[in-house]
Amino acid sequence: MKKPRILFVTSRGMPPEHASKITAGIDGAEFAYCPDTLEAIQAALPDIHGLLNCPRKLFSPDILSLAGDTLRWVHLGGAGCEEFMIPEFVESDIVFTNGRIIQGPEVADHALALLLSLARNIHLVLRNASASQPRPLELYRKTMLVIGVGGIGLLVAERARAFGMKVLAADEDYVPMVSAIERFIPLDRLSEGLAASDVVVMAAPNTPRSMRMMATPQFAAMKRAALYVSVSRGANTDTEALLAALRAKTIAGAGLDVTDPEPLPADHPLRSMDNVIITPHIAGLSDYNRERSATLMRANIQRFVRNEPLYNVVDKARGY
């Protein structure tokens, strides 16, 4: 029986030597490697069975067409996969897996870092702001609403609970009964959770349902002293509605690792606001995330070769 052929797209973040370590010793497949350019990928595509690490910006109907009928599996190293949800792929039988869950620890850490910086006025100190600063906040006994309780949201909840916070969870699905989460909020009652919370953390994936989930009505439902933190996808937040809420003091501040558009223009008003912290989509980086990504890819390659169910299969109809 002919071995499946797997194309591994290498990049600055996944150089050839790292890719070859991931595939080393796996005898049940043939591996090909190419750099992350459109021309190189197109040249290597015919007759492949698996496509690993194709850049989001290059995935297209042409890629699928050139790969042909043999393509059975596509894996994305990262978690956010909205760029892959083209009709030709969604409607196909090709299995799609991604890197969700494995970035949970570092993104959850970053969410708390943004929150603590805002709450303790660290951002103002670093900016050499005047001594007339708002009184710092303590998180103990405050209420946090986590929107999207997957691999990131659950770990945000865990960390917030360790600070003595009461944690509410809003999600499209019913969430596990874990001790860190006190109450589940259905998305159709999101305003209830927003009104009850001192901190709101956006950790939901970007899907048609979550697009601009946080807009003018949602910010209006929040407490005036509440803080907003966004670490998943910028498109989940209506940027102009957030700006208007901050200007009107409808909410007290925001910490953003993701924005819409991204990157946010250098002259955007959010960048000059004292009650806003913006980091350049770096929450998913850590000293361990590449190791976890490599472990997941190797495990899925072995399972693919053995014709076993893969880890982290994306429901293409739902978008995550």
pLDDT in tens, 238-283: 999 999 999 999 999 999 999 999 999 999 999 999 999 999 999 9
Q: Does domain 5-101+287-305 have CATH number 3.40.50.2300?
A: no
Tell me the pLDDT tens digit for each residue of 167-215.
999 999 999 899 999 999 999 999 999 999 999 999 999 999 999 999 9
How far apart CA 130 and CA 258 sit, in angstroms, is 28
The matching CATH number, chosen from 3.40.50.720, 1.10.3720.10, 3.40.30.10, 3.40.1440.60, for 104-278 is 3.40.50.720
Q: In the structure encoding, which two tokens stand for residue 100, read together? A: 């969700």
Determine the number of helices (DSSP H) and then strands (DSSP E) in the chain: 11, 12
- Residue 1 has a pLDDT of 58
How far apart CA 182 and CA 157 sit, in angstroms, is 10
- Residue 2 has a pLDDT of 82
How far apart CA 135 and CA 207 sit, in angstroms, is 38
Catalytic residues: 233, 262, 281
- Residue 133 has a pLDDT of 81
Say if pTM beats, i.e. exceeds, 0.85.
Answer: yes
Q: Which of 158, 218, 223 is nearest to 187 (CA)?
A: 218
What Rg, from alpha-carbon coordinates, does the chain have? 21
Q: Do domains 5-101+287-305 and 104-278 have the same CATH topology?
A: yes
CB atoms within 10 A of CB 55: 15
- DSSP of 219-268: HHHS-TT-EEEE-S-GGGB-HHHHHHHHHTTSSSEEEESS-SSSSPPTT-
Question: How far from 236 is each of 1, 129, 258, CA to CA, in Å?
Answer: 47, 31, 9
Domain boundaries, the chain: 5-101+287-305, 104-278
Q: Kindly state the average pLDDT of the residues 157-173.
A: 97
Q: In the structure encoding, which two tokens stand for residue 78, read together? A: 């990262």
Tell me the pLDDT tens digit for each residue of 52-69.
999 999 999 999 999 999
Q: Where are the alpha helices (DSSP H) in 122-264?
A: 122-126, 153-162, 190-196, 216-221, 239-247
